[in-house]
Structure 1
Amino acid sequence: MIKTLVFDFGDVFLNLDKKATALNLAKFDLLNFTPEMWEINKKYEKGLISTESFIDFYIEEKEDLTEESFVNAWNSILINFPEHRLDFIQNLKKKQEYKLILLSNTNDLHIKWVEENIPEYPEFKACFDQFYLSHEINYRKPDTEIFQFVLEENNLIAEETFFVDDTEEHTISASKLGLKVWHLDPNKDDIIELFNKKSDLF
């Protein structure tokens, strides 16, 4: 019996354009992330380096890249928050049938953009019993440590916990610990369909 629902944020509730950042950085001849860049990005998502250091790293890579242009490119992945998804999570909260947890790989720049541009964000955040952002807890998906952290922090039983994420690598990692999972495809699925598409588990 499922007692806890754990949700990703981006492309589960918040719409993303995952190609946008790379396309916008390409305008500055930054065509591909190097292994060093991927490592910096991961550290930033874990909150292990400051926003200032993160921005400086990229500006030093490309002389014509300004702080403003980099931040705009970095945040261009973020699109909007459909109202019907807020209704969905608010209705879930009202029913009080499940413990609700958010677990998102994100970073300080992205969350600041969300706070400034998504008016529904405070209402959305208030729906959750726990709200875990990777840069605040120093863990990131798909590392198993992040799922172990959530289970232990909340005294959860893995088999009674259901996890939704748009990245298959993340759901595979969670399932190895015993969590029930749904790899949501944002091109054809919507979180509001959860109880219809996964009716066998509820």
Structure 2
Amino acid sequence: MIKNIIFDFGDVFINLDKEATYRELARLGVTEISEDMMQHYYQYEMGLITTDDFVSYFHDKFSISKEDLIRSWNAILLDFPEHRLHFIKELAASKQYRLFLLSNTNDLHISWIQDNWGEELYTEFKNCFEQFYLSHEINLRKPNTDIFEFVLKENKLQASETFFIDDTKENTDAAQQLGIHVWNNCPKTEDVVDLLTKQAFK
């Protein structure tokens, strides 16, 4: 019996254009993504380096203005469909499940979301969850299994009673290895609002 639901954020609630940042960086002359660049990204996503350090790394490496870098970095972020907010608010109000958010999100992205949505909407959304875990705040990231173990242990959750939805298969595979029920949703054809139709909830 499912008692707990862990939600990803991007391409589950907020829509993403995952190629946008690469396209924007290419326009600025950054056409190849090196392993060193990816390592800086992972460190930033885990909150192990600051926003200033992260932006300065690309600025110094490619001589691109920091404003252009930040704009390109946030290009991935799109809209938050209203029907998904209604869904999570109703689910939270029902008190049928313990709800958690678990997102690989960095400081620049969450700051953009807070500014774009406004404080009222952001708070309204955040309050739907018992815990709101962002990778850069807890120094852990998906798909590393330690982030799922952290959420289970911190909240005394049983994996067999927990359901996780994420649009990245690597992430749902990692959670499934721990015995968590999963849904690797396809953003183009599936929507989080259909969550309770999944077999695990029947």
Q: TM-score, normalised by structure 1?
A: 0.97
1:103-142 equivalences under 5 Å are 103-119=102-118, 120-142=121-143
- CA distance in 2: counterparts of 1:200 and 1:49, whole angstroms: 39
Give the secondary-structure state (helix, strand or coil) at the position aligned to 1:16. coil
Q: Deviations over 1:15-70 (max 9, x none)?
A: 0000000000001110121000000000000000000000000001111x101000
1:1-202 equivalences under 5 Å are 1-63=1-63, 65-119=64-118, 120-196=121-197, 198-202=198-202
The question of whether the paired residues in 2 share the 8 Å contact of 1:47 and 1:136 is answered with yes
Q: Deviations over 1:86-111 (max 9, x none)?
A: 00000001100000000000100000
Instruction: Find runs of 4+ consecutive structure 1 residues off by over 3 angstroms.
Output: 199-202
Indicate the percent of aligned positions where both proteins have the same amino acid: 50
- CA distance in 1: counterparts of 2:142 and 2:196, whole angstroms: 24
Q: Offset of 1:199 from its aligned partner?
A: 3.6
The question of whether the paired residues in 1 share the 8 Å contact of 2:45 and 2:135 is answered with yes
Give the secondary-structure state (helix, strand or coil) at the position aligned to 1:121. helix
- CA distance in 2: counterparts of 1:121 and 1:88, whole angstroms: 15
- CA distance in 2: counterparts of 1:186 and 1:93, whole angstroms: 22
- CA distance in 1: counterparts of 2:47 and 2:83, whole angstroms: 31
AA aligned to 2:159 is A
Count how many residue pairs are aligned between Structure 1 and Structure 2.
200
AA aligned to 2:99 is L
AA aligned to 1:161 is T
Q: TM-score, normalised by structure 2?
A: 0.97
- CA distance in 1: counterparts of 2:128 and 2:40, whole angstroms: 32
The question of whether the paired residues in 1 share the 8 Å contact of 2:7 and 2:165 is answered with yes
Give the secondary-structure state (helix, strand or coil) at the position aligned to 1:12. coil
Q: Deviations over 1:93-146 (max 9, x none)?
A: 110000000000010000000000023221110100000000000000000000
CA gap of 1:2–1:54, structure 2 versus 1, over 3 A, is: same
- CA distance in 2: counterparts of 1:169 and 1:133, whole angstroms: 18
Q: Offset of 1:78 from its aligned partner?
A: 0.3
What root-mean-square deviation, in Å, do the aligned CA atoms of Structure 1 and Structure 2 show?
Answer: 0.8
Give the secondary-structure state (helix, strand or coil) at the position aligned to 1:131. strand
Give the secondary-structure state (helix, strand or coil) at the position aligned to 2:99. strand
Segments of structure 1 that go 5 or more residues without pairing to the other structure are none
- CA distance in 2: counterparts of 1:107 and 1:49, whole angstroms: 10
- CA distance in 1: counterparts of 2:91 and 2:6, whole angstroms: 12
